[in-house]
Structure 1
Amino acid sequence: MNYLDKSQLPSLADRLNHAMSERNFSQEALATAAGCTQASIQKLSSGKSQKSRFLSAIARSLQVDVDWLELGVVPSPQPTSNNVYKLRPKDGTPFILGDLSPWDDSTPMDDDEVALPLYKEVEIASGLGKSSVQIDEGKKVRFSSYTLRKAGIDPTNAACATNTGNSNHPLILDRATLGIDKGMTKIIDGQIYALDHDGLLRIKFLYRIPGGLRLRSFNREEYADEDYSFEEAMEQRIQIIGRVFWWSTLNPLNSALLK
């Protein structure tokens, strides 16, 4: 992300439009990612509005610093004597960024770490090509229990899964690891959920509609909305596993380019 200062991008609208262009986001796509309406994005991007309670969510969706987006303050890492960089957010809490520390399954866990189970699609032994969403007993993903608690996630309700396909590209890439809060199955419009859809593991934005629910992909150009009545959802065995609270992915050189 190219952070231009206030002399080059003097207004919130200028910075928002710049970040949207850099990330190749349309107003509609950004609204979906941030959980707000397209009208909210339009007001901000046109300069009609200078404030929004969704600014933090918009900044996260665009992967930009919220202070830069709102105030035009360019984030500047300050090196310390041991070459560790500290970035100080709005509340003054320092984030310490150091060297990457690789680990594998044989590395002992720290006292504050928890190993979260990993969900995957498992083919049922019937031989009919049916699958079931089950925990992979051989795989775990490590998290800091402090990080989970600070995010309001009970570690005993947390699990992980792997995203497959490009239905949520470029927000969530293929093979991204997802963090799931199984304690949150209530539908909050515009939030991302992991679903068990008759044995298929699906990652979708959920919305309540009269008499049912709507499944939405971030990549709406290729994947249309899916509307189900509550009766249809039961017939198709659509079950909410939990809300997706985190995702991470590697971006290899041979990955698909944004167009």
Structure 2
Amino acid sequence: METLGTRLKELRKNKKLTQQSVADVLGVSKTSVIYWEKDENVPKHESLTALAKLLDTSTDWLLTGKESKAFKTLSFDEIKKKFGEPTTTNLNDMTSDIGVYEYGDPVPEGFTAIDYYPDIKASAGNGYINLEESSPYKIFIPTVEVVTSGASATHCKIINVDGESMIPDLYPDQKISLDMSATKIYDGEIYAFTKGSELKIKILFNWGEEGQGGFRAVSRNPDKVRFPDEYYSPIQIESENIRIIGQYWMKIDIRKVRR
């Protein structure tokens, strides 16, 4: 089975480069290169870009064995008809490693375009139906981050956090990504789920006191008076149409400056 490590090792040998020479060019240790080739670690975005340049290939090929393809876009008229007038996302609000999709742009090499839903907020109602449709808004995330996390890029969505129940892990208006292919509950992980028309994000635990398949939803905020634990039995899950939407895997860690 081909991996990043096997592709890197093959290209390095074809270029007649030693592990030490690669390390010297990239400004890393020889041990780092050894770990990459053994698939015991993944190069950071800067190192991955430098590797691709040194080896005359693309970062996408190193990571996946496939070349990147341009993102298929809707026409501007189609976007307006389906989603209304789009707004412009301020690049100053994003981190330096994250780009914002503009209509007609291809996906930059080494990045993955993930659907972003600026009007959908966890804990702020009736957003799940929209999540099932593609969004014209995209946020570019370094592919290496997606690969390292094990997330399924084709099932990832980016929404906004609302409320204070997950402070200090997640703050209001923070952008987070959900992997909608990951719905099996592992104790202590963060998931988004719907309860009626409300979209919630909580730490979930399996709970079987009223039957197999129930779960307990816990807020990160220590104020249990305002944010008590929630218990959902299998009967309640079925009757109230409660559904696990996906597991949280990434946040864009930006905080607003207070003045």
Give 1:94 shift. Answer: 6.3
Q: Which residue, out of 231, 235, 240, partners 1:236?
A: 240
Q: Is the 8 A contact 1:159 1:181 kept in 2?
A: yes
Matched, 1:217 2:212: no
Task: Name the counterpart of 2:197.
Answer: 199
Q: Give the counterpart of 1:190 among 171, 188, 205.
A: 188
Q: TM-score, normalised by structure 1?
A: 0.54
Aligned equivalents of 2:115, 2:215: Cα separation in 1: 28
Q: Percent identity over the alignment? A: 22
Aligned to 1:131: 126
The answer on whether the counterparts of 1:86 and 1:95 sit within 8 Å (CA) in structure 2 is no
What RMSD over aligned residues (CA atoms) do the two structures have, in Å?
A: 3.6
Q: Which amino acid aligns with 2:147?
A: R
1:171 has 2:169 as partner:
yes
Give unmatched runs, 5+ long, in structure 1. Answer: 1-83, 123-129
Is the 8 Å Cα contact of residues 113 and 143 (structure 1) preserved in structure 2? yes
Deviations 1:104-142 (A, max 9, x none): 4326421332221235549xxxxxxx8342237232222
Alignment length (residue pairs): 169
User: Residues 93 and 241 from structure 1, CA distance in 2 versus in 1: closer, same or farther, beyond 3 angstroms?
Assistant: closer
The secondary structure found in structure 2 opposite 1:137 is: coil
1:201 match: secondary structure:
strand
Alignment equivalent of 2:96, drawn from 65, 77, 100: 100
Q: Which amino acid aligns with 2:217?
A: L
Q: CA deviation at 1:174?
A: 0.7
Whichever residue aligns with residue 233 of structure 2, its letter is: S
Paired with 2:98 and 2:141, the residues of 1 have a C-alpha distance of: 14
| Worse-superposed segment, 84-93 or 175-184 | 84-93
Pair 1:251-2:249 in alignment:
no
> Could you tell me which amino acid in structure 1 is paired with residue 164 of structure 2?
N
Q: What is the CA-CA distance between 1:145 and the residue it aligns to?
A: 3.0
| Structure in which a larger fraction of residues adopt strand | 1
Superposition deviation, residue 201 in structure 1: 1.7
What secondary structure, in the 3-state scheme, does the structure 1 residue paired with 2:137 have? strand
Q: Post-superposition shift, 1:241?
A: 0.9
In the TM superposition, residue 168 of structure 1 has moved relative to its aligned partner by 0.4
**1:112 paired to 2:110:** yes
For residues 152 and 227 of structure 1, do their structure 2 counterparts lie closer, same or farther at Cα, with a shift above 3 Å needed? same
Q: What is the alpha-carbon distance in structure 1 between the residues aligned to residue 161 and residue 216 of structure 2?
A: 19
Q: CA 1:251–1:156 in 2, change beyond 3 Å: closer, same or farther?
A: same
Distance in 2 (alpha carbons) for counterparts of 1:96 and 1:115: 16
Pairwise CA distance, 1:100: 3.1
TM-score by length of 2: 0.54
- Larger gyration radius, structure 1 or structure 2: 2
The structure 2 residue matched to 1:226, chosen from 230, 246, 249, is 230
Deviation string, structure 1 residues 24-72 (Cα, Å, up to 9, x no partner): xxxxxxxxxxxxxxxxxxxxxxxxxxxxxxxxxxxxxxxxxxxxxxxxx
For residues 20-169 of structure 1, the aligned pairs below 5 Å read 95=44, 100=96, 103-106=99-102, 108-119=106-117, 121=120, 131-133=126-128, 134-135=130-131, 137-169=135-167
